[in-house]
Structure 1
Amino acid sequence: MTDFNSTRFQPATLQLTGFPGQEAVYHWIAVLFIVLYITAVVGNCLVLCIVWADRQLHRPMYLFICMLSINDLGMSLSTLPTVLATFFFCFTNIKFDACLSQMFFVHFFSFMESGILLAMSFDRFVAICNPLHYAAILTPTTILRIGLAIVIKSASMIFPLPFLIKRLPICKSNVLSHAYCLHPNLMTLACADTTVNNIYGFSALLITYGLDSLFIILSYIKILKTVLNITSKEQRLTALNTCVSHICAILLFYVPTSAVSVLHRFGKNAPLLVHILMSYIYLFVPPVLNPIVYSVKMKEIRKTIFQVFSRGTV
């Protein structure tokens, strides 16, 4: 029998789920996740160390990349305990309050990533459309204020979610669909009206992802207009090349995020495996691939990495 809180009708623990029916190969799945976590942590830490060590990289573009790496580390670490416990140790229980805490941080870092990508698009907009005032506009103080604004906005948008879940009686089941906690998944366990949760959750997504993506698109429309007005083909290509890594990061984040949001709200008849896979892609792809993209596309970071490894082989 599930141990329920007698006053709030909430289970003391929830049951995490990996890949139903694949329990026999959980140890191999665990190895895959360990590789992904190590890649994400090492890659993002490497980017942070390179920017920290090279004073020439203490420029707005690289400071925003550091913000993205710190956020990706936070996202990876927020899911690591339950994912590895589920697949490596087959331990699937999580306390209800711990699940709410994990839900908060998973959504918080996701909202943070959207805000950081918007800030990076503003950086590219100023660098290409107003290069003479680039240093004057994006001062260290301004960058710090942008970072604080992103943190405050993301935290304030996510803050009500745990309380909105707390008010619901959880009595349909205590079994989650993933090896971590998400707000839409927790809502499905409630045996009460979840209209408020649905409206607030959708509004938060619209205000965050919707507005951020809209401003990113507008920034790149302006960037594209400016680049097309450059007479030199080489200068046009150089200007566009500085945006390639950022565009890749945008696609790596927004494509899986949009797919997960659509599935949760409109794809209820889709196979459970599709929901599970898309949720893992949404959480694991950006932290793993972002440092790889920036290491490959950013000449200064790539050069420093080659120097570090060449010294190590001497």
Structure 2
Amino acid sequence: MLWFIGRRLLQMIPVFFGATFLIYFMVFALPGDPILALFGEKTPSPAVVEQLRAQYHLDQPFIVQYLLYLKSLVTFDLGNSFSGRPIADVMAKAFPVTLRLATLAVLFEAVAGITVGLISGLRKGKFFDSSALVVSLLLISIPTFVIGFVLQYVFAVQLGWTKATVGPQAGWSELVLPAIVLASVSFAYIIRLTRTSISENMGADYVRTASSKGLTRGRVVRVHVLRNSLIPVVTFIGADFGALMVGAIVTEGIFNIPGVGGTVFQAIKQGQGPTVVSFVAVFVIIFMVANLLVDLLYAVLDPRIRYAN
């Protein structure tokens, strides 16, 4: 297992440097002058412009800028945004609330989606299965902002069970409703993915063999069918965790959550290159760690994968 983990960690190194290089290049290759954008309609003096360019190393060649950026990552000194605010402070404010939100969303979609998909796959063609397929199709078809506004109106405004908006210090309980909204589409996909995988594996030869040996249906499903069926589901959930953190901008906007999505969106609009690159570098790390955990879960669910690597 240690060799398995070591190989995965070594594979992450070139991925990280390659991804950060491409991100850095694409962000700083965008048209426009970020220094001039800071002043809006005002025209700064050439001396001030040159001073700011030198301060943020914009007068250096691209490769020098990138190497200086890597140095800041290694030393954990991300510097300041073009507005003068430390990027570490921006991250410290935005990431915790989005991390809590994404964690709750993944827990909801994993537990509820796998449970409903399992029951649906075991009862293929029956009323529960048909109902689950209809509900999942509706969730996929309806835009996230519509689901968000409806749930916000019903549970926050009409019933008063939760707050309509939450702030950066929101606790876990206040983020339950936004997490359900954020996870709604992924929840639908996990239902359909689990259902398909369960129904296919129920007809496999190894299931008939296990049943013929006298194993109970519950043990066959739990030990044999479910473990093999979870491999594609785990793949989806692992990739979805990073996607939820990056793509939470709609949900954060509905519930007025000052999280990662809104912060990055505003940074892009304002031409805050250092802020965008630093946030995306963290996203890359999150995706790589999520993929590493998925690989480890593969090895747990199917030991043949571990031994083959």
TM over 0.5: no
TM-score (norm 1): 0.30
TM-score (norm 2): 0.30
Q: Report the structure number with the largest CA radius of gyration.
A: 2
